[in-house]
Amino acid sequence: MRRQQDWEALHPLLSEAEYKALLQKANLPNYLLYTQGIRIKDGMRQEILGAFDNISLEPTLAGFNNFQGACERIKNTPLLRQYHYFTQLFLLVFMVVLPFGLIGDFARMEVPFLMVPVSILVTFVFGVMGKVGEVNEDPFENRITDVPMTALCNTIERDLKEMLGEEDLPEKIEAVKGFLF
């Protein structure tokens, strides 16, 4: 979803046939979930997994599929330009009209010179809130304002591999100029 194309990291986790098939798919994460389902069934057939393992693994895999689908819908649902346009328009009108609305109150308080800095401060706050809303419209662009998914996944991967007793852990992702990605 973040248009990161580093699928080579999955090569050691998949058979050669699975990896080649993966690279041919349009929805790679969906194919990975499918492959995990096939491996669960193979594990049951080969009796590597116990009778109750399937009962706990299948719903977990279905949950992953549901979460992935929800994230893809968020990513791929276009927001109507009217929302952005009218938000910007109303914000601009508010910023222009605010000083005129405040001038009478500040004149009655006998401090009309404070109207300008107060208007600037209030319009700045609303302008920043508008920009925050605009940036949050697309949460999967791997920007500094997004949830640091790569770092979270890296931590989960390191913890799971450590629990399995593996020594060759991926390098921990560190903050770059104070930001995690």
Q: Per-residue pLDDT tens for 145-163?
A: 887 888 888 899 899 889 9
48 and 99 share a domain?
A: no
Phi then psi for residue 69, to 5 deg, are -60, -40
Q: Is residue 93 part of a domain?
A: yes
69 and 21 share a domain?
A: yes
Report pLDDT for 1. 64
Provide the residue range defining the domain that includes 106.
81-135
Percentage of the chain modeled with pLDDT above 90: 31
Rounded Cα gap, residues 93 and 119, in angstroms: 13
Prediction pTM value: 0.58
Q: Is residue 2 part of a domain?
A: no
Structure confidence at residue 118 as a pLDDT band (50, 70, 90): very high
Contacts of 161 (CB under 8 A, 6+ apart): 168, 169, 170
178 and 146 share a domain?
A: yes
Structure confidence at residue 14 as a pLDDT band (50, 70, 90): confident
121 and 151 share a domain?
A: no
Rounded Cα gap, residues 153 and 24, in angstroms: 24
Residue 164, SS3 per DSSP: coil
The two tokens of residue 41 are 């069934």
User: Which tens digit of pLDDT belongs to each residue from 38-91?
Assistant: 988 888 889 888 878 878 888 889 999 999 888 888 877 777 777 788 888 999
Q: Is residue 1 part of a domain?
A: no
Domain count, the chain: 3
73 and 86 share a domain?
A: no
Contacts of 73 (CB under 8 A, 6+ apart): none
